[in-house]
């Protein structure tokens, strides 16, 4: 069975490109953080890829909610961004640098990034 991937992005075109590039994964796409949180209450995913700029709950809000509800998923969570849009997001991007995938992205980089989310490096061996 292929690894499962949850894509959270309100841009259907980006989600379609990601789904096509990540054919090795069983992907599910939702358009909002609220929908993702509801889905995560019912099932697990091997990796989660979330846009930072979403309507309603932002990716940062999703991160905070996920940490409260499902902290074990945090090592499997990655964020996509075209760049910080305010100081708060800038601080978040700097603090979560290893979890950030910058747009525009090359598809090979996306594949490597998601593979790392499925099997994160142990914290005690950061250079593996």
The confidence score (pLDDT) of residue 82 equals: 86
The mean of the pLDDT values for the chain is 91
Q: Which of 11, 3, 5, 66 is nearest to 33 (CA)?
A: 66
Show me where the domains of the chain are located: 4-118
Question: pLDDT tens digits, residue range 101-114?
Answer: 998 889 999 999 99
Other beta carbons less than 10 A from residue 60's beta carbon:
20
Question: pLDDT tens digits, residue range 90-101?
Answer: 899 999 989 999
Is the distance from CB of 12 to CB of 31 less than 8 angstroms? Answer: yes
Is the domain spanning 4-118 CATH 3.40.5.10? The answer is no
DSSP states along 20-41: HHTTTSEEEEESSHHHHHHHHH
Question: pLDDT tens digits, residue range 31-54?
Answer: 999 999 999 999 999 999 999 999
Place of tokens 């590039």: 21
């Amino acid at each position: 069975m292929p690894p499962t991937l949850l894509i959270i992005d309100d841009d259907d075109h980006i989600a379609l490109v990601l789904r096509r590039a990540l054919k090795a994964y069983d992907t599910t796409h939702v358009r909002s953080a609220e929908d993702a949180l509801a889905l995560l209450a019912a099932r697990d995913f091997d990796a989660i890829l979330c846009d930072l700029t979403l309507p309603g709950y932002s990716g940062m809000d999703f991160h905070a909610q996920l940490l409260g509800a499902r902290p074990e998923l945090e090592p499997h969570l990655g964020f996509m961004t075209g760049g910080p849009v305010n100081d708060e997001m800038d601080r978040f991007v700097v603090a979560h640098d290893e979890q950030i995938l910058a747009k525009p992205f090359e598809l090979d980089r996306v594949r490597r990034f998601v593979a790392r989310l499925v099997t994160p490096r142990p914290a005690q061996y950061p250079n593996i």
